[in-house]
Structures are given as C-alpha cells and as structure tokens.
Amino acid sequence: MPGNVSEPQVLLPTTVVGSYPVPEWLGRLKTEYYQRRISAQHLGEIHDVVIKAAIKDQELAGIDIVSDGELRRDNDIGYFLARIPGIHIPQRAKADYYDYYDAEVTRPLPEEDGASLGLAADFAFTRQQTHRPVKFSFTGPFSLSRRIRDSAYPSTGGLVRALARRLNAEARSLARAGATLLQIDEPFLAGYREHAGLAIEAVNIVTDGVGVTWALHVCYGNRYARPSWEGHYDFLFPAVKAAHVDQLVLEFARKGLDDLRLLREHSWDRSLGLGVIDVKSAQVETPGLVASRIRRALGYVPAERLMINPDCGLRHLPPEIARQKLRAMVAGTALVRAEITRPPGGGRGSGTRRLPAAAARSGPGAGTGSPGDGTGAAPAAAAPPGEPAAPPARRPAARARASQHA
C-alpha cells in the first residue's frame, strides 16, 4: 500500500528535480484563487487531484524517485515567504499566480515559536499516493532571502541564517513525517557567486541534525523557462565541499557537460544528480542522447554515485512534452544500466549484477528509441506501474553520510 516505501535500490536511479508542468487551465485556476474568485479549499482540492495525476505520470514514465511536482506552490519563493512568520507581504492578491510577492522584513524573524510552514503535511499527502521513494524539495534560505526587502538585519547573512533556522525546523518536521530524501533548491545562487560561502553555511544550518539524505540543487534559474544567469559552476567550488549534503544536483543538458571537470578537479566524493534533460526546450531528447550524456558523466563520477534527473523542474514544459522527456530519460538510463551490468563476454541474462525490477521498469514508450539513433532496446522485465520495486541491490548508502553530518 502507498506510504510503505524504502530507499530506491537501483543503479543510476532516475528522479525529478521537483516541479511538474502547470497546464494553462491550472494556471488560470490558481490565478482565480489569488484574485479571490475561488476559495482556498477548492484550490486545495484541485491541487490534491493534480498531484495524484503528476505522481501517476511519473510512475508511468518509470521514474524511480518521484515528487509532488510542487504543484501546490505559486512559485519557488512565494509559497514559503507567505508561510514564514515575520515576513510582511502587503499585497497578497496577484494579477497572475506565478508573480512574486513584494515581501519585506522590518524586524528580526521570530524563532522557536513552534509555527509550521505546512511542508510536512504536503509531504504526507504525497507519501500516501505512491509506493515509490519520494523526493521533497524546498527553496533554500539564500534564494528566499533574495526576494525579501530587508531592513531588519545589519547584513545579508543575518536574514539568510534566520531563514535557514526556520527551514531547519521545517526539515525536522518533514523527517518526523517520514521524509527520507530532502532537496534544497538554490536557483538564485548562480547570480550571486560572491555569496556562495554564505549560502553553503546556511545550507548546513538547514540540514543540521536532520537525518535524511540531503540533496542540493543549484541551477541557472528556470523562471519562465529562461535562465536567469549565465556562467559556470566554478563559483560553487570549493565552498560546496563544506556543504553537509549527500548529492549535488546540477544542470548539464542545456549548458553542456564541460563543468563535470570541476567535480574531478575538486574531488567531489559524494553523489551527483546529473541533469540530462533540457527543461527549457520543447525538443524531446532521444534515449540515445540521454545515454550518451550519462556515459560521459561516468568518466567523472562512478555509477554508484550518479543519479539521473532533468536539469531543473519541468514546470514550464507542456505536459505531454514533459511526459515524453521523462520516458526518454528513463529509457536512456536503462540503456546505460544494461551496458554497465553486462558481463565482459556479453550475453543476455548472465550479468554479474542483477538489476532490480524497478531499475528495468519503464513506462509506455520507454526503451523505444527514436528511429535512427540506434537506441531502441527496451528493458526486458517491466513491472506494472505502481507495483513496489522488487529485490533491492543496495545503492551505496547516502544515508550513512547524512547520519555522519547529523
């Protein structure tokens, strides 16, 4: 039954970064709410339905670790700011749901007041809908701080740390609710490279004492399907090495794989969430292209430490394109898995390492490579969608690292 789930047990597990497509009709309904034309209860019920659908989509695509698609959120910032005590938002009605609030802090944020942002309830709902492992993401303190006018703290760091402490309390609630994989998103960090040290310090405040697998996602922005910044990931290093996280989730599909060298140069010894799907393009990648990106990444990060995901959230893609992209990602990953586990002399079914069914599972269309790309192999053993993953071959435990940091 849903809710009774363990860690993903596959090599090269596929996952999402967080957000899922918001179709135009859903956007309109959300806007109706922010213009006070439908009630919060009605919108909440709508969200329940679309989250179930998003999870089902991911399961059908064969994604190993699913998310709620962040579909309850107006955007990556407002959902949190509106819930954090002490943040003043003078105007909560919006012309469009996706707009950012104008938010300000005039006094230091209250702390240890027991207030909840409600993320644990969001997670609990998602947990109930699927057998699969769930990734739950939230925006990090540094990026949240970038959208707040601050007249309360003498320096940028004061507000960032206060936000981090609030998020730490929320992370503890999430862990108590059963979350095992939490992801901190820092979409603004690439625009403020000089603050990388502060952002990492804040990440460590968030993760402190929370014994889950932690991922940190840093991208170049995905507002309206456009990058907000340009550049290279060099600004992350070496600061990020001090982050108490188990995975670094980065975008590579849109920007190319050149920055993989940074992982080797800086001896990154934890997992990498490899972005293999360009979420800013409606062109669907072939499984072959996905596989080629993974193969190249394997030159820098061993398979045991590689997670496969899109560059960023899928929010701005048309739903059908997003589904196709996820299927291509799963199929491309399956190709590489098969190569890795194939015995030296080749031969079907005689691998030295048995892939669990979940790893081989692929949704409709998965494994059907595009004509001419030579990647048409389909996984042999496909389990029905929604069925629990069978026999676990343990992935190296990121949890151990989380515990170490805890």
Partner 1 sequence: MEIEVRAVAKLRESPAAQAVLSPIVEALCSSPADLSRLRVVCDWIQYRSNFREPVTCRPVLAAVPPAGPPGSPPAESPPGSAGESCLEVAVDLRRLAGADAAALVASALAARAGAGGGGGRERPSPAQIMLEPWVPGRMSCIWRFNTLYWQALSHWEKATGREYEQALPGGESDARNAGAARELILELFSIWDDLAARRALPGELYVLEIGVGNGSQARTWLDAFAELDRSHGRDYYRRLHYLMGDYSAHVLERARQAVAHHGGHVSALVLEATRPAVTLGFLAGKTFLVYMSNVYDNLPTDEVACIHGRMYRVEVRAFIRAGDAERIAGRFGTTAGQLCSLTDRLLRIGPELMSESLPQHFADTGQAVSFWQEVWDAIRLAERYVPLEGLDTYRVAPSLTGEILRPLLEAEGDVRMHVSNGALSSFAGTLPLLHPFGRVVCHDLFLTGRHQYRTGFCGPGKYDGSVVNWVNGPLLQLLASRRGFGVQFSPFRQRPSANVKTLTAQVRD
Please, which residue, 80 or 235, has the CB nearer to partner 1? 235
Q: Answer yes or no: are the C-beta atoms of 93 and 36 closer than 8 Å.
A: yes
Q: What does DSSP assign to residue 312?
A: S
Site size with partner 1, rule: CB under 8 A: 19
Instruction: Report if residue 102 touches partner 1, rule: CB under 8 A.
Output: no
Q: Look at residues 354, 364, 362 and name the one whose alpha carbon lies nearest to residue 10.
A: 354
Stretch binding partner 1 (CB under 8 A), from 57-65, 224-232, 354-362, 380-388: 224-232
Distant-in-sequence, close-in-space partners of 273: CB < 8 Å, separation ≥ 6: 15, 17, 215, 217, 247, 248, 249, 250, 307, 308, 309
Please, which residue, 11 or 284, has the CB nearer to partner 1? 284
In whole angstroms, the minimum distance from the beta carbon of 234 to partner 1 comes to 8
Instruction: Report if residue 302 touches partner 1, rule: CB under 8 A.
Output: no
In whole angstroms, the minimum distance from the beta carbon of 93 to partner 1 comes to 13
Instruction: Report if residue 266 touches partner 1, rule: CB under 8 A.
Output: no
Instruction: Report if residue 221 touches partner 1, rule: CB under 8 A.
Output: yes
Q: Look at residues 78, 215, 52 and name the one whose alpha carbon lies nearest to residue 148.
A: 78
Q: How many CB atoms lie within 10 A of CB 172?
A: 16
Among 231, 318, 343, 386, binds partner 1 (CB under 8 A): 231
Give CA angle at 113 (144, 127), nearest 5°: 65
Q: How many CB atoms lie within 10 A of CB 233?
A: 24
Which residue do the tokens 């069914």 mark?
Answer: 357
* Helices within 213-286 (DSSP H only): 260-265
In whole angstroms, the minimum distance from the beta carbon of 231 to partner 1 comes to 4
Q: How does DSSP assign 63-114, residue by residue? A: -SBB--TTTT-SSTTHHHHTTSTT-B-S----SSTTSPP-EEE-SPPP-SS-
Please, which residue, 15 or 222, has the CB nearer to partner 1? 222
* 404 burial via Cβ count (<10 Å: 0-12, 13-18, 19+): exposed
In whole angstroms, the minimum distance from the beta carbon of 101 to partner 1 comes to 11
Among 2, 100, 124, 241, binds partner 1 (CB under 8 A): 100
In whole angstroms, the minimum distance from the beta carbon of 31 to partner 1 comes to 9
Q: Answer yes or no: are the C-beta atoms of 7 and 180 closer than 8 Å.
A: yes
Among 149, 226, 353, 354, binds partner 1 (CB under 8 A): 226
Q: Answer yes or no: are the C-beta atoms of 159 and 210 closer than 8 Å.
A: no
User: What Cα–Cα distance (Å) separates residue 60 from each residue in 115, 251, 285?
Assistant: 37, 24, 18
Among 8, 69, 133, 227, binds partner 1 (CB under 8 A): 227
In whole angstroms, the minimum distance from the beta carbon of 347 to partner 1 comes to 46
Instruction: Report if residue 28 touches partner 1, rule: CB under 8 A.
Output: yes
Please, which residue, 100 or 125, has the CB nearer to partner 1? 100
Please, which residue, 227 or 273, has the CB nearer to partner 1? 227
Instruction: Report if residue 224 touches partner 1, rule: CB under 8 A.
Output: yes
Please, which residue, 96 or 113, has the CB nearer to partner 1? 96
Instruction: Report if residue 193 touches partner 1, rule: CB under 8 A.
Output: yes
Judged by the rule CB under 8 A, the positions of this chain that interact with partner 1 are 24, 28, 95-96, 99-100, 193, 221, 223-224, 226-232, 234-235
